């Protein structure tokens, strides 16, 4: 699916390339782009397998993603997952296909459903603003979540169908929604699988709608809120743990012997309404009394990927 705000003709070639990769459907959301973009969207809509959804006014990338998720869940035949990609030519169709392949290879009865991130490399050829912004966000994200992700801002993501209902309930209408999704998944034990993709910046990223002040503030607010709520969750866990620690081991539940580990290369999930639908690989900490207790919730275990 592709959220599009005032796209250029590159969206047409991207759509053709996506179709050539054999995707089940292409969902494009025209987010109040305006009448001058009608001809482009009309020719997109005329192509077989393309579903065009429209917002009457610009509502933001996050809102457009949710519109597409709703549509995919309610109107399309069941699929294994969804790949989100940008409309402006920053994502190559081959990379979109690679992210889709990563979802398919990781979703299965024995492997927890992962999220997949198409991750860019931020070398010197990347515009300074994007390079610095991404590095700073990556550092802060790692600090607040404990998870190292090479590219927190990537718009190329793979999501298994089963997580969409929960992502639909999350707040966020603009770019910060993508950060909210990432922190939510992370908090619930999903370690993103990272697939390296080409780093494409066209014309110094001039077509970007990202407002460095307003949109960055929204993203950092999401991270700040995540940090504070993690601290509160850790405090509650600690209090609960202190309360149950004296219980005799006979009154506590032993760890499940049916827990299965993740498929190599896929993430593990530890705790979530989503996770309840899969066998849990949740680690449990032994206690001297013989009791076991869940690992405290402040996000996260070993990341899969250590870029630097």
Ligand X SMILES: Nc1nc2c(ncn2[C@@H]2O[C@H](COP(=O)(O)OP(=O)(O)O)[C@@H](O)[C@H]2O)c(=O)[nH]1
Q: Which residues here bind Mg ion, judged by CB under 5 A? A: 88, 90, 208
Tokens of 210: 């990202």
189 contacts which partner out of Mg ion, ligand X, none, CB within 5 to 8 A by kind?
A: none
- CB atoms < 10 A from the CB of 64, how many? 29
Number of residues located near ligand X, criterion CB under 6 A: 19
Give which of 229, 74, 87 is closest to 164, Cα–Cα. Answer: 74
- In whole angstroms, the minimum distance from the beta carbon of 68 to ligand X comes to 9
Q: Which two tokens stand for residue 104?
A: 């398919």
Binding range to ligand X, per CB under 6 A, among 57-65, 102-110, 192-200, 274-282: 57-65
> Least distance to ligand X from the beta carbon of 209, Å?
4
User: How far is CA 134 from its chain centroid?
Assistant: 16
Q: Is 295 exposed, middle or buried (0-12, 13-18, 19+ CB in 10 A)?
A: middle
Tell which one of 1, 28, 53, 61 touches ligand X (CB under 6 A): 61
Question: Which residue do the tokens 């066209």 mark?
Answer: 202
From the list 17-25, 206-214, 268-276, 288-296, the region that binds ligand X by CB under 6 A is 206-214
Asked if 87 touches ligand X (CB under 6 A), the answer is yes
The CB-of-91 to Mg ion minimum distance in angstroms stands at 9
Choices 113-121, 207-215, 264-272, 292-300 (CB under 6 A): range interacting with ligand X: 207-215
**How far apart, in Å, are the Cα atoms of 288 and each of 145, 247, 254, 257, 285?**
28, 12, 14, 20, 10
Question: 141 burial class (0-12, 13-18, 19+ CB within 10 angstroms)?
Answer: buried
Near ligand X by CB under 6 A: residue from 1, 5, 112, 159? 5
Residue with tokens 């910060």: 176
- Find the shortest distance in angstroms from Cβ 183 to ligand X: 18
CB-wise, 23 or 201, nearer to Mg ion? 201
CB of 197 to ligand X, least distance (A): 13
Distance CA 135, CA 119 (A): 13
Residues near ligand X, by CB under 6 A: 3-5, 7, 29, 31, 58, 60-61, 64, 86-88, 90, 155, 205, 208-210
């Amino acid at each position: 699916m592709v959220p599009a705000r005032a796209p250029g003709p590159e969206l047409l070639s991207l759509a053709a390339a996506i179709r050539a990769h054999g995707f089940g459907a292409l969902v494009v959301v025209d987010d109040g782009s305006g009448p001058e973009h009608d001809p482009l969207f009309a020719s997109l809509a005329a192509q077989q397998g393309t579903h065009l959804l429209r917002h009457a006014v610009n509502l933001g990338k996050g809102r457009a993603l949710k519109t597409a998720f709703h549509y995919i869940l309610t109107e399309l035949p069941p699929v294994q997952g969804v790949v989100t990609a940008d409309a402006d030519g920053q994502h190559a169709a081959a990379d979109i296909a690679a992210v889709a392949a990563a979802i398919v290879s990781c979703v299965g009865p024995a492997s927890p459903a992962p999220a997949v991130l198409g991750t860019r490399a931020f070398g010197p050829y990347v515009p300074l603003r994007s390079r610095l912004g991404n590095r700073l966000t990556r550092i802060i994200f790692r600090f607040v979540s404990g998870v190292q992700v090479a590219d927190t801002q990537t718009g190329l993501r793979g999501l298994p169908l089963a997580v969409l209902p929960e992502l639909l309930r999350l707040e966020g209408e603009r770019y910060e929604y993508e950060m909210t999704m990432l922190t939510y998944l992370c908090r619930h034990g999903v370690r993103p699988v990272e697939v390296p993709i080409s780093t494409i910046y066209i014309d110094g990223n001039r077509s970007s709608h990202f407002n460095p002040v307003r949109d960055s503030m929204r993203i950092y607010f999401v991270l700040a809120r995540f940090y504070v709520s993690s601290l509160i969750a850790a405090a509650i866990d600690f209090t609960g743990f202190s309360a149950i620690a004296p219980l005799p081991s006979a009154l506590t539940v032993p760890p499940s012997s049916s827990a299965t580990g993740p498929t190599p290369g896929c993430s593990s999930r530890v705790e979530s309404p989503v996770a309840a639908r899969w066998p849990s690989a949740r680690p449990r900490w032994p206690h001297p009394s013989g009791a076991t207790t869940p690992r405290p919730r402040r996000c996260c275990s070993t990341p899969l990927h250590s870029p630097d």
